[in-house]
A and B are shown apart, each in its own frame.
Chain A
Amino acid sequence: MHKRKQRIADAVIFVVLLVGGLTMLVPFLWMIATSFKEPGSLFDLPIQLWPHHLHWENYKRVLTAVPFGRWYLNSLIIALGLTFLNLTSGAMAGYAFARFRWKGKDAMFLLSLITLMIPAHVLIIPLFVILSKIGWIDTYYALILPGLFDAFAIFLMRQNFISLPRELEEAALIDGATPWQIYWKVALPLAAPALATLGTFTFLAGWNSFLWPLVATNSITMRPITVGLAVFNTQFSTEWTVLMAGLSLATIPPIIVFLAAQKYFIRGLTLGSLKG
């Protein structure tokens, strides 16, 4: 009797979860369906759930009206650039905080942790003002270089280096290696898993960043895909079939990448929760 009750409860939970899961999927299906419908047919009654014929002209229109390829490339450059900065300058500083001792080290570390408390939006106005005065607005410099200092990356890498055994590094020191050689040849390879996770998270955050690129770009060719889409939204605000074709082009490749590398993404995302 008890067993049976348990089994019914399990079945109910499963159905509820599945319905919830499908709710996650339906908007995407609706997007794809709309993107193949005949322009101007959307408000005809009865509403068709799936197009009778696949209308590719929406995709043709999008690809000729806006530089999608360029937006993708920009997003890629920005995300890779930020990832590179985090994995170099962040990891280096993390190593210094883990293995070196100098006067004022604790104060410096505390200071960098405090910046985690300052939300990014406080920085947007002064950064915009400074960078526009030196003519960097609408360049990759403005989009990438502010990531040179990242307290989260430093903190994460420091924790990771502290947790690594010192013996190998000490052996290298006795063999006469310089600190830089030890870092590069001994410590960094041991930190590879942490680097991979930090890299995935930074890449995702960079790919999805919106507010700063919105502020820091103004020409159509410098936009990343997020900003491109938002502006595109105003440009085609009522041409839903075209809009959904563009949206499909923008969302489906990342989803495929996600499905292929799900394990790393999930690790990166969970880790990123520490950052918020």
Chain B
Amino acid sequence: MSSYRRFPWLFILPSLVGFLAFNAGPIIISLLLSFTKWDVFSPLSLQSIRDSWIGFGNYVQMWQDPTLHKAFWNTLYYVLVAVPLEILISLLVALGLNRDFPGVKLVRTLYLLPTVTSIVAVGLLWRWVLNPYVGPVNMFLRWIGGQLEAMFNLVHLHAPATIHWLATQGPGWLSDEHWAMPGVILAAVWAGIGFRMLIFLAGLQNIDKTYYEVASLDGAGPWHQFWYVTIPLLSPTVFLNTLLALIGGFQVFGLIYVMTGGGPLDATNVLLFYLYQKAFGIFPPDMGYASAIAWLLFLLLFGLTVIQWQLRKRWVWEEA
């Protein structure tokens, strides 16, 4: 048997139906809707789409919508802070856990606990953890501030205002315009590093041990081995992990929905949350505009992937 030479209807049919009904069809409809002011009460027909056609109206509107601009910059802020933090911390944790010591399995499990918790539960939990008055984060910050202030008092100096603020008050987190996004990022990083670490661990364990033996015979110390063996051989994993984190970061939604609802004053409103608001959070819903936002987000992700792919050649080490 080289292969069966006819169309395998029986095998393909379920996926084909699913593809047409739930993927290809909706994608075309989404594209069409993004050029209309279609309202949800009219039927979904070519006639009603033609009647509500406004050409590039929604795309022009995006260009002039200050809330959308804010959501765009907020998304960028989130991605540019959360992703590097997640990657860096999880890489360090993976390097530390990629060895044998008593209890290593237990410590690994601890890092994975947030990973198996749904993102909604994470957001809900962190709303409470970040409570400015009685949450453990601010309790800890107040304690540190108190210690620092005491040190200043010991040498009869006046503590700087920031330290006094830390000791008595601390950040207002989710209810404060400037601290809300850092608060969300804190929860995101906490929830994200376990999974990233797992990918790094898998990558580290794929590195052939003989490379290290050879390097060691050549007189390379631990630092040189890390720099000239681990880093190059792990670079494909770093690439994959970063790309996935970026793609996920641009689509942050659950945490925002639960922790801040996009507020205060749109300080944490991100693209996907804004799309949700436009399509499902206002009355009457603006499906056309929301669809246009979806395609903007798609183009951003697509561009990002292409750029990453090009950069890949520069810094990812590949076996010839």
Contact = CB atoms under 8 A, between A and B. Distances in A.
Interface stretch (A56-64, A190-198, A264-272): A264-272
A211 B199 contact: no
Contacts of A159: none
Interface string B1-43: 1111111101110111111011101110110010000001001
B54 interface: no
A96 interface: yes
Interface stretch (B129-137, B145-153, B211-219): B129-137
Contact of B1 (A30, A169, A215, A247): A169
Given A118-B298, A126-B26, A226-B120, A273 B244 contact: yes
Interface string A2-45: 00000000100110111011111111101100100000001100
B101 to A, nearest CB: 6
Range for the number of chain A residues in contact with chain B: 35 or more
Contacts of A66: none
B146 to A, nearest CB: 14
B251 interface: yes
A123 B228 CA distance: 44
Interface of A: 10, 13-14, 16-18, 20-28, 30-31, 34, 42-43, 47, 85, 88-90, 92-93, 95-96, 99-103, 112, 115, 117-119, 121-130, 132-133, 145-150, 154, 166, 169-170, 173, 179-180, 183, 204, 207-208, 210-211, 214-215, 225-227, 229-230, 233, 240, 243-244, 247, 250-251, 254-255, 258-259, 262, 265-266, 269-270, 273, 276
Contacts of A118: 23, 27, 298
B254 interface: yes
A122 B25 contact: no
B125 interface: yes
B251 A125 contact: no
A115 B16 CA distance: 13
Given A115-B19, A269-B195, A89 B120 contact: no
Q: Determine the main DSSP class of A at the interface with B.
A: helix
B126 A27 contact: yes
User: Which residue, B8, B139, B240, has most C-beta atoms of chain A within 10 A?
Assistant: B8
Contact of A24 (B16, B97, B110, B295): B110
* Interface-centre pick from B1, B10, B111, B297 (highest chain A CB count, 10 A): B1
A98 B275 CA distance: 39
B121 interface: yes
A208 B14 contact: no
7 contacts: A92-B11, A93-B11, A96-B11, A121-B297, A127-B26, A169-B1, A258-B113
A92 B15 contact: yes
Contacts of B124: 229-230, 233, 243, 247
A141 B297 CA distance: 28
B30 A230 contact: no
B113 A28 contact: yes
B66 to A, nearest CB: 22
Contacts of A230: 120, 124, 254, 257-258
Chain A CB within 10 Å, residue with most, of B25, B121, B294: B121
Nearest to B254: A210
Given A17-B93, A123-B26, A124-B294, 6 more contacts: A92-B14, A102-B6, A103-B7, A118-B23, A121-B275, A251-B121
A229 B275 CA distance: 21
A273 B240 contact: yes
What are the 8 A-B residue pairs with the smallest beta carbon separation, nearest first? A148-B18, A149-B18, A89-B14, A21-B110, A126-B26, A96-B11, A126-B29, A93-B15
The binding surface of chain B is classed by DSSP as helix
Contacts of A183: 11
Given A42-B134, A130-B26, A25 B44 contact: no
A28 B112 CA distance: 13
A232 to B, nearest CB: 8
B84 interface: no
B12 A22 contact: no
Most buried by B among A180, A227, A244, A276: A276
B3 A30 contact: no
B190 A24 contact: yes
Contacts of B247: 119, 276
Contact of A121 (B10, B40, B244, B294): B294
B78 interface: no
Contacts of A28: 113, 125
Contacts of A258: 112-113, 116
Contact of B113 (A14, A24, A115, A149): A24
B1 A170 contact: yes
Contacts of B89: 20
A150 B19 CA distance: 8
Nearest to B19: A149
B19 to A, nearest CB: 4
Given A18-B107, A121-B275, A276-B244, A173 B96 contact: no
